[in-house]
Every structure is written in C-alpha cells, then in structure tokens.
Structure 1
C-alpha cells in the first residue's frame, strides 16, 4: 500500500477502527486507506454496506453490480473479494470469467443482461440510452434503479481508492484480469504503463 502504516490514533480514529472491526471483522480493502479520513470512512462504509446488503436489488444482482464496476475500473482487489460471492449468489462463473477478459459475458438471465448493458453504458459511456433505460426501469422498477446507479458510484469510488492507494493484492489469488498486472495496465501491443 502506498500509505504508511498508522502508528498513532486519536480517540475518534480508534473508535472508528473498532466499529469497522465489529461490522467487517477487520479493517480491510479500501477502508485501510479511508480510515485516514474518519468521517468520510464512516459515511462511505455505511453507504457501501447499504449497497451490498440492503439495496432493492437482489443479492445476485448486487454482487454482479460490484463486479461490473470492479472490471470497469480494473479493481482486482474488489474482484477477488467478490467473485466467489457472486457465483454463490447465482451468477454464472463462465459469464464472469468472460467479463474479466473484457468479452461479452453472454449472461443467460435477462435481468443480468439488462443490468450489464445499463451499467456498462453508465460507467463507460457516462450516459444511458433511452432503450436501455426503459428496459432497466421495466425490469427493476424505480427504487432498484436508483439503488443500482448509487451502487455503481459507490463501488467505483471504492475501486478508485483501492487502485490509487495500491491496496495490497492477495498473493494467493491469480490476477483476475489478463490486461492488468499489479497496478499497471498491460496489453499485447504496448508495454506496461507505469
């Protein structure tokens, strides 16, 4: 990680760490960096918890949303932490493996196809066309669609924190994306970008 270890904490910071440990079991992932801004950390942890545990989307689609955002922002840490959770929630493993390779995931469920199309347009194109919006609204309803957009933003923020501060990747996991190594994008026609 690019940030130095925290050696001293004031009372608020120590209390935040204890709350994170009580809720999450440890201070892991993006929260390793976010604890340096305790108020932001508290708000973002609450929001991310809502997005993963309480949003109007079913668990399977919450996990898929996180993985789509992780892939869009090359967040290997998020991908590794949630890939098996998504599979356990019912997302097809082969489809996710294709998504990791930036191929058409060819989801068999219509709600997954619609979510993927909506999320990809929003994340990569920054807008959602009328047909995609109408399909997503019909599939998910207003409440879940608002939750979906907010979840994409939340998971994107966490991905940026992970990558910017180079939160440690688990060496036990094979790198999930063929075009990313460590915190560098690589490709067949170019050298690793520093």
Structure 2
C-alpha cells in the first residue's frame, strides 16, 4: 500500500538523512492553496445551487407545474446538499490537513461525485433553459425562471472547476502516492573550484 498524507515525503527525507518535513499541506509550500481553493469552489457551488433551488421552489404554481422546473428544483437541492457536505469536509481538510476518509477513497469519491453531480446540475439547467425560452416573457415568474436556470449553470461551473482540481489531486496521488504535488528538487550543493 502506498504511503499516504505526506508520509512518502517524510520517508524520503529520512532516507536522505534530513529532518522530515511536516506531513500534510502545512509541510509543503503552496500546498495549502489547493484545499482552500476547493473550499471556495464548494461554498460557491452550495450558494449557487441552493439559490437556484430556492428560486425554482418559490416560482409559484406556474413554474412547479412544469416538469423541467421540478427537475431543476430536485437536482439543485441534491447538489446543494452534496456541496454542503463537501464544503464541511474541505474545511476540515484545510484546517487539519487530513482527509475525512482514507486518502485514496476520499480522492476518488470527490472526483467521481463532483463529475456526477455537476452533470446532473448541467442536465437539469439545460432542460429548464429550453422550457424557460418558451416562457411568455415579461412576467415575474419568467424572470425568476431565467435566474434559477442561470444559477443552475453557475452551480455546474463551480462543480466542474472542483472536478478539475480533484482530478489534479488524483493524478498527483497516482504519480507520487500523495494528494500533494511533489516538492521541488533541492538545489545542488555549491561547488568550490
């Protein structure tokens, strides 16, 4: 089983006879930026999907009688719940450096679910956008429908960016055995000639 949570870097440093670096994001320069960026993307996805679901729910009977807006409401409510749980996990990781689940499981879980829920939000927003285009226009319900669709697309965009970042973390894990990019090589020792 590969070493996890920065243990490989510590083992490599010990093998070279150096003091091991601290495990986790605090031991690597710039590594704390990825968990913080993930936290920001998760909170943004939560806000966009929750607002889209709220607008679809409060659009009145005219919107909720249409199947595409019921789908938008359900999809964005599910994405909001997922994003809230992932934002809490990302906050825990940013604060403590450790993942909630074992590292490989957490990385693949995040990567797969970001894609799945992102495409669910995209599909619901696309279907609702097609239906909103045939709206009578000018009414408050039509304006609310347009904003809900736009927020549904925004939720997809934030989840797509999070999927790119979690994909990078999976690639780092496959290459190095840790979710962090490998540290830069040490500078060569000075030569005195």
TM over 0.5: no
TM range (shorter): 0.3 to 0.5
TM-score by length of 1: 0.33
TM-score by length of 2: 0.34
Determine which structure has more spread, i.e. the larger CA radius of gyration. 2
- Larger fraction in helix: 2
